């Protein structure tokens, strides 16, 4: 297949003369706007499906392995840790070897590591398989997004990103009931084995439809920066994982945080003196990128924590089966999928700044509302709250994902995609670790040995309250932030 470069800007139309697209132009627009993002999104569905299935299966897996359910969050945290550590080289690898080639390789490695997870008998073996899976996933999501960024004009990007996330959102829709069915009637290893046929179908679609992107001028890999960021992120995430757990001494946990912060600070010093540092920190000087990544981080903490906390609340505290809990929670992802078709016109009508400010308040209120769920709460009420919460949460993340690239030029797209994806993985892992820590602390404060609704609900309140911090970043945005992406006059 012929390699293609970044799309050129459209020719200026002659005043008074209608612009008629040729059949070739219409076919190219259809491919850019629908076919390519849908195929890439279908490949990413494997990741989102596995993540939501796993969250719902954790209590059953804990029973089989003889582990505390809270300890099984390691299976999620270690995946996100590996993804955060390996993400910095994804952009470099795509530039060096070709984005499509790296994307295909990542899919193959993801399928193989999924098989290893399915054959795991202990928590240690499972964590090892999840680390390999996270490393493969680190290449898949940002590189797939990079293909889209380099083949789509900026004024078509919001629509293409919405199409990209539609198949990926099918994972959270079907994941909880599928996971519940597998755990209830089969056995949990099949939540990993089912990735194999999905990967095979995805590979065929990618090879057939996704274009090759022209190779970029890849600079020498910044190994020193990779080590500093990798060790720093690992220390910070392990620190959150063990905070308040009584697994490691308090001094050791403090040492992890201190070492992580020192490594990341050293990287910041190194990046200012290295022309091609592995992570481009200068991106944060752009107001739109800063608002999307840093401001959006407080919302992503809640997004990472919520599936884990809902699984603990519904299955451990309320005593539901995995299937019953999955049939309740999938509705939130269904709401998110519905929103994807309406997000672009909403953004064109009101603009990024206004949507982010108003919708962040609405989304935060719904996160807080999850704390009100009780064992006798009617299921239709729970489903209605989750449906509406998923609807508005999807609008928020569609807005953030589009705004992040509003001021990014083509030659910095790979670095922006890498930085954005790494931040998302890191923040979600922090969210899961923070949620587990809060539940543990509230359980101890209540003098109980097991989780109950009374010890899980306060964690929803704390996590939900954090989302409102993002408003500080959104109110500082210019009123016309991201207008070029929305074709707003």
* Alpha-carbon separation of residue 5 from 212, 331, 402, 405 (angstroms): 9, 40, 21, 18
Residue 388: predicted pLDDT: 86
The tens place of each residue's pLDDT in the chain, 489 residues long, gives: 434 444 444 444 444 444 445 655 555 555 555 567 777 777 777 777 777 677 667 777 887 887 777 677 777 777 877 877 777 777 777 777 877 888 888 888 988 998 998 888 888 888 888 889 888 887 777 677 777 776 666 666 666 666 666 666 666 667 667 777 787 778 888 888 888 888 888 788 788 777 776 556 666 777 888 888 888 888 887 777 676 566 677 788 888 889 989 998 998 898 888 877 777 788 888 888 888 888 888 888 888 788 778 888 888 888 887 777 777 777 776 676 676 667 778 888 888 888 899 999 999 999 899 998 988 889 889 888 888 888 888 888 888 877 887 787 766 777 787 787 777 777 877 787 788 888 888 888 888 777 788 888 899 999 999 999 999 999 888 888 767 666 544
Exposed, middle or buried: residue 197 (CB in 10 Å: 0-12, 13-18, 19+)? exposed
CB atoms within 10 A of CB 208: 10
DSSP H/E element including 3: strand 3-4
Q: What is the DSSP string of 190-242?
A: HHHHTHHHHHHHHHHHHHHHSPEEPPP-PPPP-HHHHHHHHHHHHHHHHHHHH
Residue 11: predicted pLDDT: 42
Task: Say what the pTM is.
Answer: 0.66
DSSP tag of 413? H
Number of H helices, E strands in the chain: 21, 2
Residue 6: predicted pLDDT: 43
Residue 14: predicted pLDDT: 45
Collapsing DSSP to helix, strand or coil, 424 comes out as helix
CA 479 to chain centre: 27
| Distance in angstroms (rounded) separating the CA atoms of residues 151 and 170 | 24
| Distance in angstroms (rounded) separating the CA atoms of residues 62 and 70 | 9
**Residues in CB range of 287: below 8 A, 6 or more apart:** 407, 476, 477, 478, 481
State phi, psi for 3 to the nearest 5 degrees.
-75, 145
Residue 17: predicted pLDDT: 46
CB atoms within 10 A of CB 359: 20
State phi, psi for 82 to the nearest 5 degrees.
-60, -40
- Are 437 and 240 contacting, i.e. CB atoms less than 8 angstroms apart? yes
Nearest to 138 by CA among 415, 412, 398, 421: 421
| Distance in angstroms (rounded) separating the CA atoms of residues 93 and 377 | 50
Side-chain-side CA neighbours of residue 438 (13 Å): 23
Residue 471: predicted pLDDT: 92
Nearest to 87 by CA among 209, 214, 220, 229: 229
How many residues belong to the chain?
Answer: 489
Residue 158: predicted pLDDT: 63
Query: Using one digit for the tens of pLDDT, what is the confidence trace for 448-459?
Result: 777 788 888 899
Residue 4: predicted pLDDT: 45
């Amino acid at each position: 297949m012929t390699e293609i470069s970044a799309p050129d800007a459209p020719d200026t139309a002659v005043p008074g003369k209608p612009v008629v697209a040729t059949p070739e132009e219409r076919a190219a627009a259809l491919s850019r706007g629908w076919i390519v993002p849908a195929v890439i999104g279908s490949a990413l569905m494997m990741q989102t499906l596995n993540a939501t299935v796993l969250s719902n299966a954790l209590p059953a897996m804990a029973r089989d392995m003889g582990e505390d359910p809270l300890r099984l969050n390691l299976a999620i945290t270690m995946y996100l840790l590996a993804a955060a550590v390996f993400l910095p080289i994804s952009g470099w690898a795509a530039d060096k070897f070709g984005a499509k080639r790296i994307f295909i390789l990542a899919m193959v490695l993801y399928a193989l590591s999924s098989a290893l997870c399915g054959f795991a008998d202990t928590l240690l073996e499972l964590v090892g398989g999840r680390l390999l899976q996270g490393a493969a996933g680190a290449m898949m999501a940002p590189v797939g997004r990079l293909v889209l960024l380099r083949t789509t004009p900026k004024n078509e990007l919001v629509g293409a990103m919405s199409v990209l996330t539609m198949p990926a959102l099918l994972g959270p829709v079907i994941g909880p009931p599928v996971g519940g069915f597998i755990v209830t009637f089969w056995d949990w290893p099949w939540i990993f084995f089912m990735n194999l046929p999905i990967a095979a179908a995805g590979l065929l679609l990618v090879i057939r439809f996704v274009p090759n992107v022209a190779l970029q001028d890849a600079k020498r890999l910044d190994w020193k920066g990779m080590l500093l960021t990798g060790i720093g992120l690992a220390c910070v995430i392990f620190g959150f994982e063990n905070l308040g757990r009584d697994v490691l001494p308090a001094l050791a946990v403090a040492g992890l945080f201190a070492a992580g912060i020192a490594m990341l600070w050293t990287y910041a010093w190194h990046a200012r003196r290295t022309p091609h540092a592995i992570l481009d920190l200068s991106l944060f000087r752009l107001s739109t990128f800063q608002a999307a990544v840093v401001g959006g981080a407080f919302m992503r903490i809640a997004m990472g924590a919520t599936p884990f906390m809902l699984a603990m609340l519904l299955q451990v505290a309320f005593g539901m089966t995995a299937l019953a809990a999955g049939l309740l929670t999938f509705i939130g992802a269904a709401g998110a999928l519905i929103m994807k078709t309406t997000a672009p016109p909403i953004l064109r009508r009101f603009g990024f700044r206004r949507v982010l400010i108003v919708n962040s308040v609405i989304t935060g209120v719904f996160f807080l509302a999850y704390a009100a769920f009780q064992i006798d709460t009617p299921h239709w009420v729970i489903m209605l709250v989750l449906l509406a919460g998923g609807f508005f949460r999807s609008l928020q993340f569609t807005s953030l994902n589009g705004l992040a690239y509003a001021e990014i030029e083509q030659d910095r797209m790979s670095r922006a995609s890498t930085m954005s994806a790494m931040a998302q993985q890191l923040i979600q892992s922090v969210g899961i670790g923070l949620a587990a820590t809060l539940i543990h602390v509230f359980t101890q404060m209540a003098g109980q040995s097991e989780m109950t609704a009374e010890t899980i609900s306060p964690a929803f309140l704390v996590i939900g309250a954090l989302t409102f911090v993002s408003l500080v970043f959104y109110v500082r945005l210019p009123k016309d932030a991201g207008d070029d992406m929305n074709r707003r006059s």
